[in-house]
Amino acid sequence: MTTHTLSREAEGVIKEYLRLPFPDREIACLYYNNRRRHLRGSLAVLVGKGRPVDIVDEAALLARQEKTDLNQLDNQQLKKFLVDHHLGVDCSALVYHVLDAEARSKKKLPLHKLLFPPPARTPLGWLRSRLRSMENTSVSVFADEKNSQTIALEDIQPGDLLIFLRTGEKHDRDHVLLVEAVGDDQPGAKLISYVHSFEWRSDGRYGREVRRGTIRCVAPGHPLLEQEWQEKNKLGVENETWQHAKLADRLEIRRLRQL
């Protein structure tokens, strides 16, 4: 089986999100989306945009302020601490940090210099988008024609994005998955491995986190939705990621133009 993957540097970022660098702990970074709190101008780590090390450092700082010894917390208690303090990462920030590492591994410019920012209504908004590029990079920025192009399923490769635009029951949210690896599951059948930060209804308050899934291309020549999506050992309608893909007004495979 031949498998193509992201660079070692990009894989290193993914591994740290899947296992945050707390000493002697094994917890994945939690999903957090700032749209409910609407914080603006805050540190990246406080709005779901932090790197793994930022999240660990911020947790340590908050713990000292509250006189909490993180070393005395088990995995579940530590996870609760992170959730209660809104420390996690959203889907677009996860993709941003991984692809930034991928770009640097290829000796390219940092990702913020490869992406066109969202349009600004005022000079101040333009300046903010330049100074806080990562915080202002959303799914719609990745999906912008200036930044990416659509790719056919048969041409998919590591680093490509699976974009869900206007998904959910109210069609009011966007989502992005990052293709981590592409291999040959069997002759003529691709196996796509992806990673994302997401929240399933069945996750509960403390179960939403960064995780992996796969798409087995069992129907060559057919659309992405007709392939076999598996995540958390769930297939078909039990797979909430697939449900959101199906609900999306637009489901696209896209590749950054400058990567």
pLDDT in tens, the chain (259 residues): 689 999 999 999 999 999 999 998 899 999 998 766 555 556 889 999 999 999 999 999 999 999 999 999 999 999 999 999 999 999 999 999 999 999 999 999 999 999 998 877 776 666 666 667 788 899 999 999 999 999 999 999 999 999 999 999 999 999 999 999 999 877 778 999 999 999 999 998 888 999 999 999 999 899 999 999 999 999 999 999 999 999 999 999 999 999 9
CB 135 within 8 A of CB 49: yes
At residue 129, the pLDDT reads: 67
Q: For 108, left (φ over 0), alpha (ψ -120 to 50), or beta?
A: beta
Q: Which residue has the tokens 């998904």?
A: 167
Between CA 69 and CA 185 the distance in angstroms is 46
Between CA 74 and CA 68 the distance in angstroms is 13
Between CA 217 and CA 192 the distance in angstroms is 8
Between CA 207 and CA 27 the distance in angstroms is 11
At residue 165, the pLDDT reads: 98
